[in-house]
Amino acid sequence: MDMPTYMGIYTAVHNFCTSLKGATGAPNTLGGGARGGLGAHLLGEELYQNLIEFLKKHLQQLKEASSQHTDEALLQFYIREWNRYTTAAKFINHQFKYLNRHWVKREMDEGKKGIYDVYTLHLVRWKVDLFEEVQKHIMDAVLKLVEKQRNGETIETGIIKQIVDSFVSLGLDESDSAKSTLDVYKKHFQEPFIAATTDYYRTESKHFVAENSVVEYMNKAETRLNEEEKRVELYLHPDIHQPLMKACQKVLISEHAELLQGEFQQLLDENRQDDLARMYNLLSRIPEGLDPLRRKFATHVRNAGLAAVEKYAKEAGDVIDPKVYVDSLLEVHTHYHNMVNFAFKGEAEFVRSLDNACREYVNRNQVCKSASTKSPELLAKYADTLLRKTAKASEEVDLEAKLQDIMTVFKYVEDKDVFQKFYSRMLAKRLVNSQSATDDAETSMIGKLKEECGFEYTNKLQRMFQDMQLSKDLNDSYKEWLNNKDEKAPCDFGVQVLGTSFWPLNPPATSFNPPEVITETYTKFQKFYDEKHSGRKLTWLWHLCKGELKTTYCKSTKVPYTLQVSTYQMGVLLLFNDSDSLTYEAIQQSTALNKETLDPALAIFLKARILSIRAPVTKVGPGATFDLNLDFKSKKIRVNLNLTVKAEHKAEAEDTHKTIEEDRKLLMQAVIVRIMKARQTLSHVVLVQETIAQIKSRFSPKVPDVKKCIDMLIEKEYLQRIEGEKLRYLA
């Protein structure tokens, strides 16, 4: 359309709207002043109605022409005419601007129904006169085209995109023509599209499942869901995404959920993580789809852990290696932890299922049958082997990673107090004997325990390190004190002063008469310490002391041997400075050691050939006479005789367990008193429950044990029974 024609139509519309009809009905054109001054009125209804009639005739022709087309040809015809029609509507809307601004606006302001601006009028007429007649045929054609694409054929997606846009454009708000809605699109496109999609996939999935494996079906379902996602992006309206995917998930996943869930165990057994990830992705889309999987996964992990420990227990027999045991626990955890992260996207509920399963097999397995506290004990022993200074430990490439592995297992240990007790005793030995691999590793481990269990759990461990540092300073002060006194110690001497309440060290199990050289040395230190600290008492732990002796009697070597011995062993060997032969009774009388301590010490000397036993007696005991071996030989210049006997290890472990039981009773009583002090009166059942809840982070108390502690507190008059099952706190 050229500009003169366009302006001619625009002017004609303007003139018509601003004319006054005379008596003859002929319009008279008035100037602007005349219109305002004479009360002229705007005309437009006749023009508006004529436009409607024109559009009706045009759309009737299109409706008749559409009947000549089917399927894709119908869609092309519809889009071609829609584009032509809407383009023309825009031009006409511009040409009828004066009508829109004045007559249409006035009519709409007065609340008249069925009056729209000229462009909206075009859309309304299209919807009423053409769309409602042909929309079903249009949708049938669209659905056939989409089905072709689903069947693998290539289609022109742009045409469907234009159909969708045209449906959306016809969504008019009756109350406000300026607004648009998706009502037309939802009713005439979205609903039939989703219904057809549901039917298509329901039929396809039933046939596919009947002829293929579950894994192949999962691949197919995943592919179909991805196709629908892309279909929405390519040519569907974004609003359809959620209902469409919901419908697809229902027919592709929900209706086959039991079949998929039934295959889960086999995939777990075969460790097919890619297929497990695919199953997770599918079932996570539907409500409660993963619940059976989590339960099966927890059971599977628990059984795998129990089987791993049982296999090791059979191979190991009675001698359980802490490292191998912990590694067998970790191997199962690491495998399934990686599976959770890869196949199950690290989902919180699967992590919880893994944790529950690990807690089961760590605390209740073949090794733990003899004692429920076995896992924390072995874990503490494994930590000791890592942190102890040995040739093997020095070769450890990544000690920090190993400590983190220990914490992984520790997280699942229920009896954390058992670990604490064994760990503290082993730490004490490492510190006393200067056997820690590195101070940094020790500090790192305590930091990890503190992070997991809190300050109270590691308080005593940290105080041990403080005592060690104070002892270093104390030794320096002692040397300075000797210099000031112009005295010398009878022998090289170092001491560790350790706080009784922080160190899990037992008093000596035997009496002991220390040799004169030792007595003189420690007496001087005692004097120094009393001057420095008044009112403190030093108790010497002879069984933890050690020293070195040089052999000046051996003729077979130019360099004297250095014997590394315990203080008890030192007391025995120094007796041979006065005599080359001593009877068992003489040694026992001089040292005052009991049989349980003296016999193993003498046995070690015999085995190392430091001493020999005079015939005819062959065993250590009363009646035996021991001779110093003047021809002693050794490949090493430094000979370590300070060896721990297995029986001592066993006795120490038993003693530790007894201590744990006593500590548990005291802890339960303390918690009960704390609860009752705060609540004053409480029923017996609630008190038991609250006590268990507060203690379970340290260990899992049994109800009968809690009840016994309550009875003990009643006897001690901390608590009193009142009516029924209630208890009262007594201040």
Cα–Cα distances in angstroms (integers) from residue 721 to residues 450, 678, 729, in the given order: 39, 17, 9
Q: Does any domain span residue 421?
A: no
Please tell me whether residues 663 and 678 are part of one structural domain: yes
Query: Number of folded domains in the chain?
Result: 5
Cα–Cα distances in angstroms (integers) from residue 384 to residues 129, 322, 393, 455, 655, in the given order: 89, 10, 10, 21, 18
Higher pLDDT, 370 or 344: 344
Residue 173 binned pLDDT confidence (cut-offs 50, 70, 90)? low
d(CA 205, CA 27): 72
* pLDDT value of residue 91: 85
Q: Does any domain span residue 12?
A: no
> Poorest-confidence range of 32-36, 267-271, 313-317, 528-532?
32-36
* pLDDT value of residue 26: 41
In the chain, % of residues over pLDDT 90: 29
Residue 31 binned pLDDT confidence (cut-offs 50, 70, 90)? very low
Are 300 and 354 a contacting pair, CB within 8 Å? no
* pLDDT value of residue 622: 87
Q: Which two tokens stand for residue 127?
A: 């919807």
Please tell me whether residues 49 and 90 are part of one structural domain: yes
Please tell me whether residues 67 and 112 are part of one structural domain: yes
Which CATH number goes with the domain that contains 76?
Answer: 1.20.1310.10
pLDDT value at 348 more than 90: yes
Which of 26-40, 267-281, 597-611 has the highest mean predicted lDDT (pLDDT)?
267-281
Of the residues 528, 543, 558, the one at which a domain ends: 543
Non-local (6+) Cβ contacts of 183 within 8 A are: 171
Measure CA of the first residue to CA of the last residue in the chain; give whole Å: 104
Q: What is the mean pLDDT of the chain?
A: 85
In the chain, % of residues over pLDDT 70: 92
Instruction: Count other C-beta atoms under 10 Å from residue 352's C-beta.
Output: 12
Following DSSP, what letter does each residue of 358-399 receive, concatenated? HHHHHHSSTGGGS-TTHHHHHHHHHHHHHHB--HHHHT-S-H
Of the residues 181, 207, 224, the one at which a domain ends: 181
Which CATH number goes with the domain that contains 722?
Answer: 1.10.10.10
Higher pLDDT, 241 or 1: 241
Which CATH number goes with the domain that contains 476?
Answer: 4.10.1030.10
Q: What is the mean pLDDT of residues 265-281?
A: 94
Q: Does any domain span residue 357?
A: no
Q: Which of 370, 382, 269 is nearest to 326 (CA)?
A: 382
d(CA 362, CA 414): 9
Q: Which of 432, 421, 413 is nearest to 368 (CA)?
A: 413
pLDDT value at 38 more than 50: no
pLDDT value at 342 more than 80: yes
Please tell me whether residues 528 and 625 are part of one structural domain: no
Please tell me whether residues 599 and 658 are part of one structural domain: no
Please tell me whether residues 530 and 572 are part of one structural domain: no
Of the residues 497, 528, 543, the one at which a domain ends: 543
Q: What is the mean pLDDT of residues 66-85?
A: 89
Q: Does any domain span residue 433?
A: no
| Residues counted in the chain | 731
E strand or H helix at 315: helix 291-316
Residue 19, strand partner residues: 29
Quick: pLDDT tens for 666-708. Answer: 888 888 898 888 888 888 888 888 888 888 777 778 888 888 8
Which CATH number goes with the domain that contains 586?
Answer: 3.30.230.130
- Buried b or exposed e, range 193-228, using 16+ CB within 10 angstroms: bbebbbebbeebbeebbeeeebbebbebbbebbeeb
Please tell me whether residues 555 and 588 are part of one structural domain: yes
* pLDDT value of residue 290: 93
CA atoms within 13 A on the CB side of 3: 0
Residue 7 binned pLDDT confidence (cut-offs 50, 70, 90)? confident
Please tell me whether residues 636 and 656 are part of one structural domain: no
Please tell me whether residues 510 and 522 are part of one structural domain: yes
Please tell me whether residues 513 and 569 are part of one structural domain: no
Quick: pLDDT tens for 468-496. Answer: 888 889 888 888 888 887 777 677 788 88
Q: Which domain holds residue 674?
A: 649-729
Residue 14 binned pLDDT confidence (cut-offs 50, 70, 90)? confident
Residue 648 binned pLDDT confidence (cut-offs 50, 70, 90)? low
Please tell me whether residues 654 and 711 are part of one structural domain: yes
Quick: pLDDT tens for 118-142. Answer: 888 888 888 888 888 888 999 999 9
* pLDDT value of residue 371: 57
Q: Does any domain span residue 697?
A: yes
Q: Is 701 helix (H, G, I), strand (E, B) or coil?
A: coil
Q: Does any domain span residue 414?
A: no
Q: Which of 503, 542, 372 is nearest to 425 (CA)?
A: 503
Non-local (6+) Cβ contacts of 609 within 8 A are: 629, 632, 633
Q: pTM to 2 decimals?
A: 0.76
Q: Does any domain span residue 424?
A: no
Q: What is the mean pLDDT of residues 315-326?
A: 86
Q: Does any domain span residue 233?
A: yes
Please tell me whether residues 86 and 136 are part of one structural domain: yes
Q: What is the mean pLDDT of residues 570-590?
A: 90
pLDDT value at 28 more than 70: no
Higher pLDDT, 384 or 36: 384
